[in-house]
Structure formats: C-alpha cells, structure tokens
Amino acid sequence: MGTLLANLQEWYRDRRAKLDLFDETTVGQQANPLYLLGPMLYFFWIVTVASGIILMFWYEPTPEGAYNSILRIQHEIPLGWLWRGIHKYAADGLILAIILRIYRMYFLGEYKKPGELTWIWAFVGLILAMISGITGYLLIWNQRAFWAAKTVLTVPVFFDELTAKIPIIGEQFQIGSMIAYLFLGGPAVGAATLTRFYALHFGISIVLLILAEVFFFRTRRRRLNMSLAPILLFTAMLVITSYVLPAELGRRADPTRTPLPILSDWYFLALYQYVKYTPPLWAGLGPGLLIGFGMLIPFLDRTRGRRPTERPFFFVVGVLALVYFLVFTALIMFNIAVIEREPPLVLLTTVLVLSAGLAWELRYRRRQAQAAAAEPPRRPAGAGAHG
C-alpha cells in the first residue's frame, strides 16, 4: 500500500516535471506550424480573456437587458463591434487550436510516456473551453443561445432514469434533475440561469489563468513561445475578420418558438447530430464515455512505437473519430438525418472499421514477431529473453 502510493507520487512528480501545456518546451523557433498550436492556444486564450473583460463593462446579465446591451455594444459603442468580434473569433481560434493540438498529440503519439499528464490537461482544457463556449453564448440571449442552454441542460434530467433504479431512495433522489436545476437556477431557463452561466463563463477562465500563471512562475518557462510575425498575423486576422464578418447577433430569445432549422456553435454540431440519433439517456452517457476513453488513451495504448503505422488500431480509431466529426458536422449543416436509416449504418460502419483496424494491428504484430524471430539474436542468450 505504502509503496504503491510512493510509486504513484513518483509517477506524478515525473510527469509533472515533463508537463508541456502550451508546447513551450518543444522548439525554440516555431518553424513547424504543428508546434505553433500550443502558443496559438495561449495567445487566443489571453486575447479572449482580455476582450471579454472589456465587454463586461457594458454587458448586462438580465433576460430583459442582455440582448439590448449586446446590440448596443455591437452598434453604438465606439469600437464595441471590434471587441466583440475579437472575443468571438479568438474564442473560435482557441477551440480550433485545442482540437488540432489534440489530434496532433494523438497521431504523433505525444501522449505516451512521459506525456500522459500533458494529454489529460489538453483534454480537460478542451472540455472547459467547450463549457466556456456554451455558457458564453447563452449570454447573448438570442434564439440559438436559449435553445442550446435548454437542450443541453435537459440531457442530465435523463440520468434520473439511472438513479431511479436505486432501491428505496431512488424515486426521490433525482440527481440528474438536481444537476440541471443547479445550473439553470430552477426548473426553467430564466434570470438565474443567466447569472449562473455568467459566473461560470468568467470563473473558468480566471481560475485556469491563475493555475497557468503558477505553472509558468514555477517552471520559469517562456509564456508565449511564438515570434512576433505570427502574433501580428493572428491579431490582424482577428481584426479583419471582426470587420468583414461582424459577430452574429441572431434573433432575440423567444421561449415560445423554436426556429427551424436551428444550429449550435460549430464545435457542437457533430455532437448535435449524434444527439438526433440516440435515445436521450445516451445523449449524455455517450459523450461522457467518449471523453473518459479519450482521457484514458495513454493507459490503454500500450504499444511502443510513436508513429501511426506502428500502432494501427489506435491510428484507425483516431481517423474514425476525425471522419465522424467532419461527416456529422456536414450532415447537420445540410439538415440531413433519416433516423430510421442512419444509426444502424453508423453502428455497422464503426464495427467494421474497428474490426479492420484490429485485423491490421494483429497482422502488424505477427509480422513484427516473425521479423524478430528471423533475426539472429544479437545479445547473449538469457539477457534478451524478455525482449
């Protein structure tokens, strides 16, 4: 027991020393754009927080005032459109950088020892960024925001189906509803929802910012591992996009009318399509299990190689996830969902592709074993027996 704890501490201390939150240890000059993703993440994050604080000067978190205050920021207050545009597009950039960075870490095997903790933090970052996203776009109090908040927080209500199975207390112990009510501030979307979402939206970033600052202070690493040219380029991109494509306002929230069709922010679209396909209990459990699986990947993938072809099964899983993300996003944008036909098709494709991946993995391993057997042993007998 004591040694196990000591081993765990040792493991954790080692991974913490090798923690690489924003690719700040990888390369000095960010010549490779793949390793620019970490600094991009940090840059877009800081810009999002700073512009968000500027927006807080004018924003009013009440159902009556929220939409009007955004209208005023966008159209009346000098440079309001710019701060709002920068906030929105920097947040999009942040999410994009996190997602691309996770895929890079996945396909390049960076989650392997000693990168496990870095991988877990990348995932936690993605989840918290998505929560910030959804709590943030409710604040506009437009149609998309209102219905997104309502549907997302109806999902936990179905967890009551699980807790109802607990004997005696199950009927009353509606923990799913309780979670939803805690976030909504009651059984309906209202004024309390807005203040609670506002607090979470701001709080998540501030807490993480303090943690990141502690991290940089203790490791003495460079905060923004990026030269001036990309900084200027990204800043210009944000300003130009905000000018050319002003951040959307949408229509004011109307609790009695759901528009057709209605879409969420781009990074939720694939999930939205998935929710159409599954019973509502699985709308909550599915993403939860996927996130759990994603976080545990470093402990599930015990292969030695880092190159994708050296671990065929996990390579196939990664490609499948990417393809599903893109295909589901495309399907929902064209409003295609034939619910009788598609879920069995998706399930069948998944099983077939995963089986193919497994077959590839087994074949690869057999070849490796054959190659190892054919090769004459280099080391003296006995020492290489475990090789």
Partner 1 sequence: MARDPGLDRRRFLKLMAGLPLVGGLLAVGSPLLRYLKPNVDPFAIITPTARDVVTGEPVVAATVADLDQPWAFRYFVFTQRYPQYTPEGFKTQAVPGVVIRLPHKIRLPWAWVPAMGETLEFTESEVIAFSRICPHLGCIYNYVPEWREVTSGYGGYTPPPERRHALMACPCHLSIYDPADPEMPGRVLSGPAPRPPRTFFYQIRDGQILIRFVEPGGIA
Options 121-129, 222-230, 276-284, 372-380: segment touching partner 1 (CB under 8 A): 276-284
Contact, 38 vs 101, CB < 8 A? yes
Q: Which stretch binds partner 1 (CB under 8 A): 285-293, 309-317, 334-342, 371-379?
A: 334-342
Q: Does 169 bind partner 1 (CB under 8 A)?
A: yes
344 is a site residue for partner 1 (CB under 8 A):
no
5 is a site residue for partner 1 (CB under 8 A):
no
Lookup: tokens for 40: 């991009």
Contact pick of 112, 150, 201, 311 for partner 1 (by CB under 8 A): 150
- Binding to partner 1 by residue 158, rule CB under 8 A? yes
The phi and psi torsions of 252 (rounded to 5 degrees) equal -55, 145
31-36 contacts: CB < 8 A, separation 24 or more? 34/104, 34/108, 36/226, 36/230
Q: Are 320 and 351 in contact (CB under 8 A)?
A: no
Distance CA 344, CA 277 (A): 10
Give the integer Cα–Cα distance in Å for 249 and 267. Answer: 18
Measured from the CB atom, the residue of 174 and 349 that comes closer to partner 1 is: 174
Question: In whole angstroms, how close is the CB of 31 to partner 1 at the nearest point?
Answer: 46
Q: Does 327 bind partner 1 (CB under 8 A)?
A: no
Beta carbon of residue 159, minimum distance to partner 1 (angstroms, whole number): 12
Bridge partners of 27, per DSSP, are: none
Alpha helices in 155-188 (DSSP H): 160-163, 175-184
The residue (of 227 and 329) whose beta carbon lies closer to partner 1 is 329
131 belongs to the binding site for partner 1 (CB under 8 A): no
**Residue 255 binds to partner 1 (criterion: CB under 8 A):** yes
Note whether 39 and 27 are within 8 A (CB): no
- For the bound state, the minimum distance from the C-beta of residue 63 to partner 1, rounded and expressed in Å, comes to 9
DSSP H helical ranges for the chain:
2-17, 37-56, 66-75, 80-107, 116-138, 143-154, 160-163, 175-184, 191-219, 228-244, 269-277, 280-300, 312-333, 342-374
Q: Is 185 one of the binding residues for partner 1 (CB under 8 A)?
A: yes
88 binds partner 1 (CB under 8 A): no
Which listed residue (25, 26, 74, 177) binds partner 1 by CB under 8 A?
Answer: 177
Contact call for residue 190 and partner 1 (CB under 8 A): yes
Q: Binding to partner 1 by residue 182, rule CB under 8 A? A: yes
Cα 372 to Cα 76, 200, 302, 367, 369, distances in angstroms: 72, 55, 19, 8, 5
Q: How far is the CB of 253 from partner 1 (least distance, A)?
A: 12
**Is there binding between residue 137 and partner 1 (CB under 8 A)?**
no
User: Which residues, listed in sequence order, are joined to residue 142 by a DSSP beta bridge?
Assistant: 252
Member of 277, 325, 360, 364 binding partner 1 (CB under 8 A): 277
Q: Of the ranges 71-79, 124-132, 182-190, 375-383, which one interacts with partner 1 (CB under 8 A)?
A: 182-190
Which residues in 203-232 contact partner 1 (CB under 8 A)?
none
Number of Cβ atoms within 10 Å of the Cβ of 209: 13
Out of 7, 9, 14, 187, point to the residue binding partner 1 (CB under 8 A).
Answer: 187
Shortest Cβ 177–partner 1 spacing (Å)? 5
Min dist. Cβ of residue 144 to partner 1 (A):
11
- The Cα-based distances of 105 to 65, 71, 130, 286, 308 in angstroms read 43, 40, 19, 23, 11
Torsion angles phi and psi, residue 62, rounded to 5: -130, 150
Residues that bind partner 1 (CB under 8 A): 147, 150-151, 153-155, 157-158, 169, 172-175, 177-178, 180-182, 184-192, 195, 255-262, 275-281, 283, 335-340
